[in-house]
Structure 1
Amino acid sequence: MKKLGMNWIQHGLCLALSLIMFTASGVRANNVQVSTVTLTGQNAASQYTNIQFNLSWENSWRDAAAPSPTDNWDAVWVFAKVSDAPGLWKHATLSTNAADHNGQGYTVTPSPDGKGVFIHRAAGGQGNVSLTNVLLRWNYGSDVITSGANVTVRVFAVEMVYVPQGAFFVGDGTTTALQGQFIQGGTTNPFQITSEAALTLGGTAATNLASQTGSYNDDFTSAVTKTLPDAYPKGFNAFYCMKYEVSQQQYADFRNTLTLTQSNANNTGTSGGRPNP
């Protein structure tokens, strides 16, 4: 079964950073592994410390010897949850400055909001990855955690794939009136997405994105047009997607760091009486 890479520790967040407890949990996706999690290099004045861990996964690649616009690669999305009170977890705020992290030769790209990082190959290659003593700077002051608090830290890892920016077609050009099939306005040709600019939906102009008659009526037709705004992602710009579907174990691991209220908000059926420990 594919699982979310996860490991966790409980630490006293003080100058000595003495280890209170360490528990390793089995981790699998494409054998993504997180191990030996610890805290190190605390700066009490600036209220940050480093989350250190080992990270490995299999069947990694980067398809170009040097960075290029069409280069693509696999990566691991890494984030941490922290707790300074029983049953209450916060999403750790990591530095948004890439230079504050150390991927041990691999590129670390933080998200703009500091809620995680992508770790991937810096150059072309393929094969298994084994990184020792990866360091991510955690700005614990941003999470309203004091320098003397006892904290539990859980590190999660999810395998991803980077899709580079590029044009693509939607629709397959089949002349049969398939339900909901994308077409170029006024034709049965596929429609090419060439930017993230606003699109006109419906109508008969060849520059418009239209569709064959679907099972249900759209809010646009050959006679009525609508606008898909610039801000709505079209898939032209580069993006990351998950390499594998979310497993039940992945979802359970994540939900075990939610409060009962947060967990119940994610239920698809009847709520449980209490969260998992």
Structure 2
Amino acid sequence: MSESSPLEVHVLASGSKGNCTVIKKGNSVILHDVGISCRRIVNGLKELHIDMAQVEGIFISHEHSDHIAGLQQLLKRFDIPVYTKQGTWREIQDKLIVPKNQLIELTKGSLSLGNLVVESFGVSHDAADPIGINVFAGKDKATVVTDTGVISDSILHRMDDTTLLVLEANYDPHMLRFGPYQPFLKQRVASDEGHLSNEMAARALLMMKRPDFMQVILAHRSENNNNAVLVTQTIGQMLVDGGVRIGPEMKLQHGQPNEIVSMQSVKR
């Protein structure tokens, strides 16, 4: 069953108030970030007909609270290994009470968890040792790239040939510039260790090596410095101008703070 089952990506929550993504093939499930309550995660998985016993691991991108808020409670209730970088784990231990024995340090190379093979890669964010992940299952590849201020050549390479992509489109430069944030915070968001603007996300999509058909969830949208209409207009226009046919070649969706957004691989 697992061989013929699709690779699935479900974004349970996305945005500055909390992030959590589920990646699944057959009975193998991993979580990428757990920045919402344990209860919401358990209920979200139930909605997807997934039992917590199927979760093979939790991957933490970095230690900011909107990515780890549910971790302490989850680890209290469930014996699930946590995969992250050593520096990130040290920072998490300063913020939360977490059992040290549940950490598995991420190093170079790939990791097989059931039907999924996972690789991590570095991104550029103001955190200890932030990562994105690639998840491989047969011919399909899912990639999660959020919380990075730049798309470097090495990140772009990690995005190549992705069929299911979760990509940050955090802010609109005009809204950020004239928005409510303090100057230092505006500077942080727009820095190389901040977040991706809509334009930067579109450029990454145009520059990466794309499969014939790919699906994208545009994630981690700022409540104060962006909105879904601007994301659609800016990215949609840049993609069309760059020769991408939205629909036949690329399907775009928006990550949401309070509802599940899903995509799954199609037979090729």
Length-normalised TM-score, structure 1: 0.23
TM-score (norm 2): 0.23
The structure with more helix, counted as a fraction of residues:
2
Which structure: greater strand fraction?
A: 1
